[in-house]
Amino acid sequence: MIIALGILFLLGGLLLQGSVLSHLPVLGVRVDLVLLIVLAWSVLRGFPSAIAMAWGGGVLLDLVSGAPFGAHTFTLGLLAPATVLATRHLLTDSLLPALGIALAGTLCYDLVLLLALQASHVPVAWAAAFWSLVVPSAIVNTLAMPLVFVPLLRAAGRAAA
């Protein structure tokens, strides 16, 4: 039941990310809604549903993205357990750890994705990509995290009750 709810969130996030949000760039980038959903879910729910969400979100992204197939699933598959392990001793219903996870998670997500692209023989201009895409993306995602985390926290609480 809770996983079905998560998949619905992911599907909605994917559709919004590929349509509305692409017309609303902030600092030249758009919010990575699917990434934020997976990270927030990992903070709130832990294993094993974090892994299921990482796989679900990754496959959805891979299906619509021009990146090498599996790159998004791999990156989220790495980040979701790392997030669970990093936040296991923290207050998971507090927003502060989620903000830190959004910042660090986005930096890792973009850098691992760039590595995956380079491994697929796509030339990557590291410095330009870091300053013009990765850093703005980390800032924008951190600012957007409350918009994802709070509804998920409420949904998780309601589903648990």
Residues that bind other proteins (CB under 8 A): 11, 14-20, 22-25, 28-30, 32, 34, 45-49, 51, 54-55, 58-59, 61-78, 80-82, 84-85, 87-93, 110, 113-114, 117, 122-125, 128-129, 132-133, 137
The distance of closest approach from Cβ of residue 17 to other proteins in the complex, given in angstroms and rounded to an integer, is: 4
The residues pairing with 26 across neighbouring beta strands, listed in sequence order, are 29
The distance of closest approach from Cβ of residue 132 to other proteins in the complex, given in angstroms and rounded to an integer, is: 5
The distance of closest approach from Cβ of residue 29 to other proteins in the complex, given in angstroms and rounded to an integer, is: 5
Q: Give me the phi and psi of 117, to 5 degrees please.
A: -65, -45
Q: Indicate left, alpha or beta for 10 from its phi (over 0: left) and psi (-120 to 50: alpha).
A: alpha
Q: How many of the other CB atoms lie within 10 Å of CB of 3?
A: 14
Give me 21's structure tokens.
């949000």
Closer of 48 and 151 to other proteins (Cβ): 48
